[in-house]
Amino acid sequence: MRHLGLEIHRLEKLMARQRIHSAAHQDADRLTGMHGYLIRYLYENQGRDVFQKDIEKTFSISRSTVTVTLQLMEKNGLIERESVAQDARLKRIVLTQKALDLHHQIELDIASFEEQLAKGISEEEQEVFQRVAEKMRKNLGEDLERKGVCGR
């Protein structure tokens, strides 16, 4: 029997290595793959308020991981946190001009990465993979919920 977790771990490591060699990563000071995904998410959600909690839920990552990631992005001049009128404790996350400038290169990198990842895999196989991955996320998320663990 194959160990699905090990295969997913191997894929994640290869994907991380691939991202390190992307053009946007080479051009940006300490840009990680997650930074690229967050920049894209924030770019696509311009015009609406995005908060840390939204990122935790969307990317299924823990509060502490998001906090550290956003702190580094803020330090590197990629995002700013702005207070919102209805609750000064809430901080909306917005992209800086530096991040907007990187967005175009990131989009090219993602398209190239996705093309490389899917090479030789039919549309049908990709759809099956998506369904299986969704079931796995659901299985793990439900288990974490039962255990009372956040970060689903």
pLDDT in tens, 107-148: 888 899 999 999 999 999 999 999 999 999 999 988 888 888
Distance of CA 33 to the CA centre of its chain: 7
Packing angle of the helix pair 63-75, 52-59 (nearest 10 deg): 120
Torsion of CA 131, 132, 133, 137, to 10 degrees: 100
In this prediction, residue 152 carries a pLDDT of 45
Q: What are the sequence ranges of the domains in the chain?
A: 4-119, 122-152
4-119 to CATH, choices 3.40.50.1820, 1.10.10.10, 3.40.1370.10, 3.30.465.10: 1.10.10.10
In this prediction, residue 82 carries a pLDDT of 92
